[in-house]
Structure 1
């Protein structure tokens, strides 16, 4: 289905568009909460090595994100510019999920920092392919300011709700009273991704269309795009504000488990405490 520029999406289509947030949100805050302590302790890598690995992985994002945007803009398919990239990301993310979240089933992974690094880089390739394409798709569903705000509100509501849903998995495990390991929690979240990713992407791609792609007469080069960004002071302000918002979020996510376990001394309440934080998010979306 092709959309025109002034199409107002129904709530059902907005829910379908937001569906991929249900699995992909795992790799945002929940993954950053549990992966570092898991790799540092149960995988035997140590905090310094894990910190270096995640730093390299995030610097890799600095390259892969604009590269994915470049490819997504310039290589369309009969579906449009975005949906085929989202579909292609599914097998990559499923393989990466197995590599990153189920290392206990793969021989020779304990203490293997190179394995963890390469697995993370592979994971972020699939994650970037899906998220960049998904966000760009949402920005193109309408040219109306209010409708775009409505689209992004639905996506953000889905993200925050999905985070609470994902954290329910380790929360339930923590409250069983048995000896639950970080590996158990990683396995559980891995199964969550493997079971929800294909159907949620199918729902989005099947039920929500794109605008008809018209090749522009002139395509700006990389240098021109960088110059246009640098000369747009309003866009610079937005990027700086976004950096200031996400930096403390990343710090909090990386240190949260260590703080709850070693400072507060309540490891069995780690996920429950974090869920209370994310429950407030969806409740505030309609207000904003």
Structure 2
């Protein structure tokens, strides 16, 4: 069998986990970089929080801005061969693993040198992470198939990614940073090895003939925005993403001040949220054949809104009720994880761009994901301060503001996203 052979056998669980396993280290690395690293540099090396914030903001902005360019680069690699894709993916794994280790175990001393070292390593590590993510997502989208197969591909990637998040939340505390770095390197190697023998999408002449274009035809990085269906889906994705990112940004404030939960309860809340999201994925995959991808996603949005409306009634001591909120919102999260990416793969295929420009699409998709996180923090936190909330307060009016921001603001945004999904996507689908 040649490397460019198109495999048409059913996409079973063996093929699914081999492709999806890379999702585990990609999700694993994100939590230490975003959560553990700032605390590590502040406590272990004495770097000021303001300096850390500036470094992280600059690196993340750079990371978001290069995603569309990395997407176009990904398309050029796929136009060459799968061998080129896997070779560059291996290099990205090496750079990502080395960058992670060098960030947490810097060989330099002195505050100024540490800040410069962290900045350079973050830029390189983020770039490797983004390149590897786009190559992996593009590979999955090029596998094609009907709605059920596309949702299964994304569900395995995101489900194993959730396992990576859970492991990353436990490993630094249970094993320490050196063991966490070693575990991450092992996961990266295993992910690449499994990907290497995963089901292969058509490339080169085969995919070009299928999509109706010449192999050497260049694709503009702006091409996805010429497709009305992509613009509509991206609008839903951005609004829904902000709605999901707002409570993620504010959950610790809500738990500590509104619920006044005992110390250490955060782990149980977050654990139940992510575990239930993973367990819900097979259930949602069974719903897709009956309702379709878009309508199933809409059901998940409605469930999420209902859960957060219920959360507005919680107050001090309602920790068990909040566990129920975390469980049900985790179930709803399953649709956010598995279905938008599958819808995007279908949008690419329907536009006739499959096999040529998946990288460009996922470059903008990842840019939007990072923009969602930035907008959530940039909107929710200033609004809280403007409306009179300060961390640690017990003032009833301030806590009501926190409840509105944590519960009702996401509901309003989810309602807008649901309306956009219905009118721009569902009603436009034959």
Using structure 1 for the length normalisation, give the TM-score. 0.80
- Cα shift readout 1:118-161 (whole Å, capped 9, x = no counterpart): 11111111101111111111111123222101111111111112
Matched, 1:87 2:93: no
Instruction: State the SS of the aligned residue for 1:169.
Output: helix
d(CA) in 1 for partners of 2:89, 2:104: 21
Q: CA deviation at 1:101?
A: 2.1
The aligned counterpart of 1:100 is 103
Q: 1:212 to 1:55 in 2, by over 3 A?
A: same
d(CA) in 1 for partners of 2:25, 2:230: 35
Q: 1:17 to 1:64 in 2, by over 3 A?
A: same
The aligned counterpart of 1:281 is 277
Matched, 1:205 2:196: yes
The aligned counterpart of 2:242 is 244
Structure 1 unaligned runs (5+)?
174-183
Give RMSD over aligned pairs.
Answer: 3.0
The aligned counterpart of 2:183 is 192
- Cα shift readout 1:139-193 (whole Å, capped 9, x = no counterpart): 11123222101111111111112211222313425xxxxxxxxxx4x33321211
Structure 2 unaligned runs (5+)?
285-430
- Residue number among 35, 45, 64 corresponding to 1:43 in the alignment: 45
Question: Which protein has greater RCO, CA pairs closer than 8 Å, 6+ apart?
Answer: 1
d(CA) in 2 for partners of 1:61, 1:227: 21
Say whether the 8 Å CA contact 1:24–1:127 is kept in structure 2. yes
Instruction: State the SS of the aligned residue for 2:144.
Output: coil
Q: 1:233 to 1:71 in 2, by over 3 A?
A: closer
- The number of residues matched between the two structures is 269
The aligned counterpart of 1:178 is none
d(CA) in 2 for partners of 1:194, 1:109: 28
Q: 1:252 to 1:170 in 2, by over 3 A?
A: farther
The aligned counterpart of 1:176 is none
After the TM superposition, which residues 262-273 of structure 1 pair with which residues of structure 2 at under 5 Å, given as runs?
266=263
d(CA) in 2 for partners of 1:275, 1:3: 42
d(CA) in 2 for partners of 1:18, 1:245: 26
Q: 1:277 to 1:171 in 2, by over 3 A?
A: farther
Which of the pair has more CA radius of gyration?
2
Q: 1:231 to 1:139 in 2, by over 3 A?
A: closer
d(CA) in 1 for partners of 2:40, 2:267: 15
d(CA) in 1 for partners of 2:126, 2:108: 23
